Structure 1
Amino acid sequence: MLTSKERSALKQLAQTRKPVFQIGKEGLTPTILIQIKDYLKKNELGKVSVLNTAFEQCDQIISALENEAIEVVQKVGRVLTIYQKNPNLTRGIELPL
Structure 2
Amino acid sequence: METTGTLTETQKKYLRSRAHALNPVVLVGQHGLKPTVLEEITGALDYHQLIKIKLSVGDRDLRNEMIEQILQYSQSQLIQRVGNVAVLYRRNPDRPDILKEQAF
TM-score (normalised: structure 1): 0.87
Q: Which residue of 2 aligns with 1:62?
A: 67
Q: Which amino acid aligns with 2:76?
A: I
Cα displacement string for residues 15-71 of structure 1 (whole angstroms, at most 9, x for unaligned residues): 0111111101111111011011111111101100111458x7221112112212111
Aligned length: 95
CA contact (8 A) 2:25 2:44 kept: no
| % identity of equivalent residues | 26
CA contact (8 A) 1:47 1:81 kept: yes
User: 1:43-62, aligned counterparts within 5 Å?
Assistant: 43-52=48-57, 57-62=62-67
5+ unaligned residues in a row in structure 2: which ranges? 1-5
5+ unaligned residues in a row in structure 1: which ranges? none
Q: Which amino acid aligns with 1:22?
A: L
Q: Which residue of 1 aligns with 2:78?
A: 72
Over 6 Å off, 4+ runs? none
CA contact (8 A) 1:71 1:82 kept: yes
CA contact (8 A) 1:43 1:92 kept: no
